[in-house]
Amino acid sequence: MAKTAWAETPEKIERWGLFEAVLEATVDGDPFDVELVGVFTDGRMTVRAPGFFDGDGVWRIRFSPPETGSWRWASESPVAALNGRSGRVEAVAPSAGNHGPVGVVEAYHFAHADGTPFRQVGTTSYGWTHQPEAKRRQTLETLKAAPFNKIRMLVTPNAAVSTNTPLSPFVRTGAGETDFDLDRFDPAFFRRLDASVAALGEIGVQADVILFHPYDEASGLNAMSAARDERYVRYVVARLSAYRNVWWSMANEFDILKKSDAGWDRLFQVVRDADPHGRLRSIHNWRRLYDNGKPWVTHSSIQNGSAVLDDARAETYRSVWQKAVVFDEVCYEGSLSERWGDLTGPEMVRAFWHGLIGGTYVGHSECFPQEGGTEGGFWLGEGGELRGESWTRLAFLKSVMEAGPKPGIDPIDKWWEQHLGGVAGQYYLRYFGDAAPTEWAVDVPRDEIVGGERFKVDVIDTWNMTIEPVAGAFVMQKRDDTKYFFRDPARPTISLPGRPWMAVRVTRVD
């Protein structure tokens, strides 16, 4: 991360990189309440980036340039020492691996700002940033080797694991579990959060930053006044928005928290208006869904494991809101007796395949006891090591996604019982789940097919991670008995091995 004082010396950072202006002052009153904004312009557009107090007389303004070129900045503040500071920064072409922030494309999919598809294969570890340094580093090492390109993580600690680290988002006033001064942020806590987000960015993982959650009733952190909620949200946004791998999740299980929908509407708008970089915004449910049709929701983040128990239900969420859908909790792979944490590896992987066929995306986590054996000891709660069987298969799934259409897969001929995801006329994916078929009819629906098209077929074992091509081409002709499907009359079916967890891929070859 490049840092510059308010000296005039321009520095260079990459487009979509993080520029930081550091300003110093001594103020009367609460330094967290000082208004400060950095006004950045390249002559074509102007971006107003909020500053924040970082303790010890230091304020920072962070900005991620959306375009290459020369950006001038100047600070605005009622505090004279923080007002009228200015400088210049040159945004240069991004280096390899910097594809920019992720946004929604073609309504239902994700891509980086440079157009690179973002094939979401997510995981959740609520409290990984709240763990001791050794465990945090272990989590990052695990992620480096894992397929996950997005992680859901809490800002404020989950009560179950909050004692693993002495840091809290609000300054402690005593040793009791409610002894916090909810008017005073602890910058040290947030510096660790910054560093965690930055570390994820370095290994290409999006940080789905969960602003509120219901897992800490005791401390008061999660049932603050509306004014404190807003002040807290503005502080987090000012600190983190310039990291290009940040997504905002307004809440985990929002409907357990004691806020009205109007309250959530307002907080969504606070985030939208405070965030000069326009990072993605979603909200995650327990049993009741927030109206994801509202304009400040950029994509749907849904907890509903039953939605990915087959290849059809997931699609309904796309069509109702006409937004990209991530099933961010579908139960977890694990050994719990609780049904939300008892998925087998194959069941966890199946959820991802079903979501993919439905044109949506899915999230993983694990609940296997680690050393110590508390609930918080799970990957879900603390990070650490992965112990399940699904994550390697999810890496395989991701490779199939990456070899597929850009930016992603849509249901084919939706609302008819097709079981196919892909791109009509070009690419079809069929997943059989725990069925163990010995044969499959290579029928393609008529959309974008006129006859004469040639396809190749691959048989995919999603569990054993093999792809076996079927020899020769399939030349499509209209079926005699229906106008809805085409097939190759010379080879209408293929053989399948009679094992579960199989898929078939049909790809146009000319």
Residue 466 or 482: which CB sits closer to its own copies?
Answer: 482
Site for its own copies in 336-355 (CB under 8 A): 337, 339
User: Which residue stretch of 171-179, 195-203, 476-484, 497-505 sits at the interface with its own copies (rule: CB under 8 A)?
Assistant: 476-484
Q: Tell me which residue of 209, 254, 253 sits closest to 235, measured CA to CA.
A: 209
User: Do 14 and 57 form a contact (C-beta atoms < 8 A)?
Assistant: no
Nearby residues of 141 by Cβ (< 8 Å), 6 or more positions away? none
Pairing outcome for strands 281-282 and 246-251: parallel
* 484 touches its own copies (CB under 8 A): yes
252 DSSP assignment: S
Nearest distance from residue 253's CB to its own copies, in Å? 13
Nearest distance from residue 498's CB to its own copies, in Å? 22
Please state, as a whole number, how many other Cβ atoms lie within 10 Å of the Cβ of residue 237. Answer: 25
User: Do 25 and 11 form a contact (C-beta atoms < 8 A)?
Assistant: no
Please state, as a whole number, how many other Cβ atoms lie within 10 Å of the Cβ of residue 214. Answer: 18
Nearest distance from residue 303's CB to its own copies, in Å? 8
CA distance 396 to 461: 10
Nearby residues of 284 by Cβ (< 8 Å), 6 or more positions away? 152, 210, 249, 250, 251, 252, 253, 254, 301, 302, 303, 328, 329
Residue 79 or 423: which CB sits closer to its own copies?
Answer: 423
Output the six-digit token pair for 106.
Answer: 């073609």
Output the six-digit token pair for 348.
Answer: 């966890």
CA distance 65 to 114: 13
Torsion of CA 317, 297, 121, 102, to 10 degrees: 140
* 424 touches its own copies (CB under 8 A): no
- The phi, psi pair for 233, rounded to 5°, reads -60, -45
Nearest distance from residue 437's CB to its own copies, in Å? 18
Residue 71 or 327: which CB sits closer to its own copies?
Answer: 327
Residue 258 or 287: which CB sits closer to its own copies?
Answer: 287
- The phi, psi pair for 320, rounded to 5°, reads -75, -35
* 317 touches its own copies (CB under 8 A): yes
CA distance 17 to 300: 27
User: Which residue stretch of 22-30, 225-233, 349-357, 413-421 sits at the interface with its own copies (rule: CB under 8 A)?
Assistant: 413-421
Residue 219 or 303: which CB sits closer to its own copies?
Answer: 303
* 95 touches its own copies (CB under 8 A): no
Nearest distance from residue 414's CB to its own copies, in Å? 8
Nearest distance from residue 238's CB to its own copies, in Å? 32
Residue 313 or 478: which CB sits closer to its own copies?
Answer: 313
Q: Tell me which residue of 500, 503, 401, 497 sits closest to 460, measured CA to CA.
A: 503
Residue 225 or 306: which CB sits closer to its own copies?
Answer: 306
Figure out which of the listed residues 416, 448, 497, 498 binds its own copies, where binding follows CB under 8 A: 416
In degrees, to the nearest 5, what angle opens at C-alpha 106 toward C-alphas 100 and 459? 95
Residue 32 or 484: which CB sits closer to its own copies?
Answer: 484
Contacts with its own copies, 279-298, as mask; x by CB under 8 A = --------xxx-xxx-----
Residue 120 or 292: which CB sits closer to its own copies?
Answer: 292
Nearest distance from residue 285's CB to its own copies, in Å? 9
Figure out which of the listed residues 403, 415, 439, 468 binds its own copies, where binding follows CB under 8 A: 415
Nearest distance from residue 263's CB to its own copies, in Å? 17
User: Do 117 and 294 form a contact (C-beta atoms < 8 A)?
Assistant: no
Site for its own copies in 297-316 (CB under 8 A): 304-307, 309-310, 312-313, 316
CA distance 238 to 22: 13
Nearest distance from residue 306's CB to its own copies, in Å? 5
Nearest distance from residue 300's CB to its own copies, in Å? 9
User: Which residue stretch of 45-53, 203-211, 415-423, 432-440 sits at the interface with its own copies (rule: CB under 8 A)?
Assistant: 415-423
User: Total number of residues binding its own copies (CB under 8 A)?
Assistant: 29
Q: Tell me which residue of 179, 168, 164 sits closest to 220, measured CA to CA.
A: 179
CA distance 291 to 323: 12
User: Which residue stretch of 76-84, 176-184, 225-233, 318-326 sits at the interface with its own copies (rule: CB under 8 A)?
Assistant: 318-326
- Which residue type is seen at 269? Q
CA distance 381 to 163: 13
Residue 44 or 483: which CB sits closer to its own copies?
Answer: 483
Residue 7 or 320: which CB sits closer to its own copies?
Answer: 320
User: Do 30 and 183 form a contact (C-beta atoms < 8 A)?
Assistant: yes
Site for its own copies in 18-57 (CB under 8 A): none
* 260 touches its own copies (CB under 8 A): no
Helix pair angle (187-202, 133-145), 10° resolution: 20
Q: Give residues in contact with its own copies (CB under 8 A).
A: 287-289, 291-293, 304-307, 309-310, 312-313, 316-317, 319-322, 337, 339, 414-417, 482-484
